[in-house]
Amino acid sequence: MGEIRVGTSSWADRTLLRAGWYPRSVKTPADRLAHYSRHFGLVEVDTSYYAVPAPETTAGWVAATPPGFTFDVKAFSLFTGHPTPVKMLPRDLRPAIGGTRVRRRDLPEESYEELWRRFRAALDPLAAADRLGVVLLQFPPWLVCGAAARRRIVELARRCRPWRVAVELRHGSWFDGAAAAETVTFLADHDLSMVCVDMPQGHPSSVPPIMIATAEPGLVRFHGHSAHWADGGKEDRFRYAYSDGELRRWAGLLTDLAGTTGELHVLFNNCCEGQAQRDAGRLAELLGVTPATEPAEV
C-alpha cells in the first residue's frame, strides 16, 4: 500500500488562529508552521493562489519544517483563469487598466512570463529541499470540458514541469456520462493527478468523488457538505464537521485507493475555526498515519 499523507488546506487562516488550536506560546508564523508539522506531514499552500510568494518566504517554510514534510502549492489564480485583484500583482507588473481585477488577456506577454518566472522561483526553495509535493492547478467552475480547455491544462502543466502537477476540475461536464472516462484517460495520458473531491452535489460546480489515481501522487480534497454551498460566504460554504462515521467510511475508501498508488495526499479544506485540523487529526488516527518527521528547530 502506498504512503498516505494527511493534512489541511491552510495552517494560518484567521479563523484557525482564533480557534485555540495553537497554544498561546505559539505566536510567530514560523512557530505556527513548526507546531503544525508536529501534527501533520502535509499541508496545502492556499496563499499562493492569492499572491505569488517571495522565495525568502518559501525558504522560511523550509527552515520551519523537518525533512519529510510536504507542501502542495496552489497555482496563482491568474494562471488558472480566475479574475485576479490588480493589487495582488507585484507593483511593477500591474497593468494600467480601469477595473480592479485583471485577467490573462490584460497583461502584456512579457509581464505574464515574468509572473511565471517569479512563481517558479518561489517554488525553487521547496523543491531543492525535497519539500514540494504537487503544484495544484485549480480551475474555475466555468471551465467547461472541451478541446480548448484540455489544451489549456496541458500548456499550464508544461510550465510547471518537472514538478508534479495535480488538476482540480470544477464543472460537471468533465464527469458527465462518457466524459468521465475520457477525462480520466486524458489526465493519465499527460501524467496529471486528478483531484478527487468530496463536496456538496447538485450544483453546477459539483463533481463526483471518483476514487482513481491518474498519476503520482493520488490526491483527495475534502470540502465538506455545507447546506450553504450555493448561497453562503466563504466561511459558510466550508463550515462543516465530518462525523466519526463519515471519517471511518472514508478511511476505508482511502486505504483502498492507497493500494493503487505509491503516495496519497489527503487534504481537508473545511477550514473554519480549526475544524479541518480536528477532522484531519481524527482521520489520521483512524488510518494510523503519523507525521513521521522530527520537529524542526526554529
The half-sphere exposure of 199 on its side-chain side, counting CA atoms within 13 A, is: 26
Residue with cell 508544461: 158
What one-character DSSP code corresponds to residue 185? H
Q: What is the pLDDT of residue 97?
A: 80
Give the CATH superfamily of 3-287.
Protein of unknown function UPF0759 (3.20.20.410)
| Dist CA 129 CA 59 (whole Å) | 9
Q: What is the pLDDT of residue 293?
A: 56
Q: What is the pLDDT of residue 279?
A: 95
pTM of model > 0.85? yes
Q: What is the pLDDT of residue 109?
A: 96
- At 68-109, the pLDDT tens digits run 999 999 999 999 999 999 999 999 999 988 789 999 999 999
* Cα→Cα distances 163→117, 177, 267, Å: 14, 31, 19
Q: What is the pLDDT of residue 59?
A: 98
Q: Is 7 left (phi over 0), alpha (psi -120 to 50) or beta?
A: beta
- Angle, nearest 10°, between helix axes 55-64 and 109-128? 20
| Dist CA 91 CA 32 (whole Å) | 29
- Please, are residues 81 and 105 in contact by the beta-carbon 8 Å criterion? no
Residue 49: which residues within 8 A CB-CB, separation 6 or more? 74, 75, 76, 77, 138
What one-character DSSP code corresponds to residue 61? H
- Angle, nearest 10°, between helix axes 244-258 and 275-287? 60
Helix (H) or strand (E) holding 73: strand 70-74
- Please, are residues 1 and 258 in contact by the beta-carbon 8 Å criterion? yes
Domain locations in the chain as residue ranges? 3-287
* Cα→Cα distances 274→17, 197, 277, Å: 8, 20, 5
Task: Report, as ranges of residue numbers, the positions in the chain whose pLDDT lies below 50.
Answer: 295, 298
Give the SS3 label for residue 221.
Answer: strand
Q: What is the pLDDT of residue 87?
A: 94
| Dist CA 181 CA 176 (whole Å) | 9
Q: What is the pLDDT of residue 292?
A: 53
